[in-house]
Amino acid sequence: MNKEEREFKKKNQFNGYDRDIWSVFKVMGELVEGYDKLFQIGPCISIFGSARTKPDNKYYELAVETADKITQKGFGVITGGGPGIMEAANKGAERGEGKSVGLGINLPFEQGINQHVDPDFTINFNYFFVRKVMFVKYAQGFVVFPGGFGTLDELFESLTLIQTRKIDQIPIILFGSDYWEGLIDWIKNSMIEWGTISENDMDLFHITDSTDEAVKIICDFYSKKEPMPNFYF
């Protein structure tokens, strides 16, 4: 490598360093905006699920009903603000005249925030991990509808945080036994069988096909405990 090549490499290394440092400030900005806005909302339930779920899918309407009933019990609803299950949950929160929060993510192929999110409770993020902090920190429970990789990511991160006691235990509800039963069987037959989790870890979540039962699980939990923010870090 000659002198010119070394100088070129050194210059580009510093440019990369500058970009990394600047990204830290962008992350900080997103955290501050999220904390500032969501702190004011009060107790909420995060509802996860596929962005690909169409309005004629049974789980779309069940998400609407669940969110409606949740808001009637005094909780707001947090979603990723996009289409599918997220749109359905925000629609239900709007129908129930509750707080409808949308935590969007800037992606080239997403349609943006759905029309049922309250503009006062809309935040767009560039970083998935910052967005997940907000989902967890300001949620007093999770209702997880059928979804893809993103939904599973949010589900297992939440379970991990509770399992490792980084956050207090809160209700986690898997909605739709016909969708989740294969995963549950695998957890029982592989993870527990291999000893990678404890049998007690099965108590960290509930499975239901009933909107009333989902809401009851949440309300019963908080009949004995005051809803508080989760201190993620």
- Predicted TM-score (pTM) of the model is 0.86
Q: pLDDT tens across 7-25, in order?
A: 545 555 555 667 788 888 8
Looking at residue 132, its amino acid is K
3-class DSSP state of 174: strand
Question: Which residues does residue 208 pair with via DSSP β-bridges, in sequence order?
Answer: 175
Looking at residue 226, its amino acid is E
Structure-token pair, residue 184: 């549950």
Mean pLDDT across 69-95? 96
Question: Which residues does residue 139 pair with via DSSP β-bridges, in sequence order?
Answer: none
Structure-token pair, residue 128: 């998935």
Residue 72 has pLDDT above 60, yes or no: yes
Residue 38 has pLDDT above 60, yes or no: yes
What's the burial of 206, exposed, middle or buried (CB within 10 Å: 0-12/13-18/19+)? Answer: middle
Structure-token pair, residue 133: 């902090």
Looking at residue 208, its amino acid is T
Q: pLDDT tens across 136-164, in order?
A: 888 999 999 999 999 999 999 999 999 99
Domains of the chain (ranges, CATH numbers): 41-222 (3.40.50.450)
Q: What is the pLDDT of residue 146?
A: 98
Q: What is the pLDDT of residue 173?
A: 98
Q: What is the pLDDT of residue 3?
A: 58
Contact status, residue 84 vs residue 50, Cβ threshold 8 Å: yes
Structure-token pair, residue 63: 């998400």
Q: How confident is the model at residue 39 (pLDDT cuts 50, 70, 90)?
A: confident
Mean pLDDT across 114-131? 93
Residue 117 has pLDDT above 80, yes or no: yes
Q: pLDDT tens across 197-232, in order?
A: 999 999 999 999 999 999 999 999 999 877 665 544
Taking CA atoms, 12 is separated from 1, 3, 4, 25, in Å, by 15, 14, 12, 21
Phi-psi region of 115 (alpha: psi -120 to 50; beta: other; left: phi over 0): alpha
Low-confidence winner among 2-6, 57-61, 215-219 (lowest mean pLDDT): 2-6
